Amino acid sequence: MEESIKQIKTFKLLNNRILQEGVCLDGGVLKVDVFINHQIDPYLMKQVSIEFIKRFADLKINKILTVEASGIAPAVMLGYLMELPVVFAKKRKPSTMSDMYQTVVHSFTKNEDSALVVSKDYLTEKDHVLFVDDFLAFGNAGCGIVDLCRQAGATVEGMGFIIEKEFQHGREALKRAGVTRIESLAIVESLEGNRIKFKGI
Ligand code: 5GP
């Protein structure tokens, strides 16, 4: 009982922040620079991470994976609380990196393709990965992570997103790519007319 009350509180906290401080941009983009994408609210990141820990409690995970840049804050908070290493896939191949796995993903917000690169030192067949990111939109970043993990022989155990934009159908793309556990803390059903409508509310 107490657990579900806490869960409702986290939902409310996050949904209220999105409603009060989120800005709808044209083309189905939600700007949450106030607490995730530019300024970061560490308290909210902690609440979000605690919720992820509960939802993925049944999984055996040894590594948190994310993509730069906006996934790093929730990933580090989660890694800190779970006492697990955090690896972020880079969007450019660093000149200092020689042996790596790479794939190409389309960025919906920037409308461009970019590389996604992770060093062979930090992703191996021993890894059971939890991928976390700020947004799930079309699922391009998540599918890129699936590809990197496949190359490394690592297992994707689950994926957690702070905000899912359901109308962009990323969840279906991830399921098609073989991801069986997907958890999103706030699910936006529509941004039509620049109005934020949450699923089930
Ligand atoms: P996907 O790869 O699922 O198509 O898109 C998710 C990635 O694009 C996330 O890493 C996120 O940073 C960015 N993104 C997608 N939609 C939005 C949005 O509405 N607002 C913001 N701030 N970022 C988004």
For residue 182, the CA-to-ligand 1 centroid distance in Å is 16
| pLDDT tens-place string over residues 60-86 | 999 999 999 999 999 999 999 999 999
Which of 108, 148, 190, 192 gets mutated to test ligand 1 (max ligand atoms within 8 A of its CB)?
Answer: 108
CA separation for the pair 63, 86 (Å, rounded):
6
The reply to whether ligand 1 has any atom less than 6 angstroms from the CB of 141 is yes
pLDDT beneath 50: ranges in the chain: none
Alpha-carbon distance 137 to 165, whole Å?
Answer: 5
Per the prediction, the chain carries an average pLDDT of 94
- Rounded Cα distance between 145 and 67, Å, is 9
Residue 104 has φ and ψ, to the nearest 5°, of -120, 135
What is the structure's pLDDT at 62? 98
Q: What is the pLDDT of residue 110?
A: 86
Q: What is the pTM assigned to this prediction?
A: 0.95
The 3-state secondary structure of 139-186 reads CHHHHHHHHHHHHHCCEEEEEEEEEEEHHHCHHHHHHHCCCCCEEEEE
CATH topology of domain 2-198: Rossmann fold (3.40.50)
**So where are the chain's domains?**
2-198
CA 116 – CA 119 distance, rounded (Å):
10
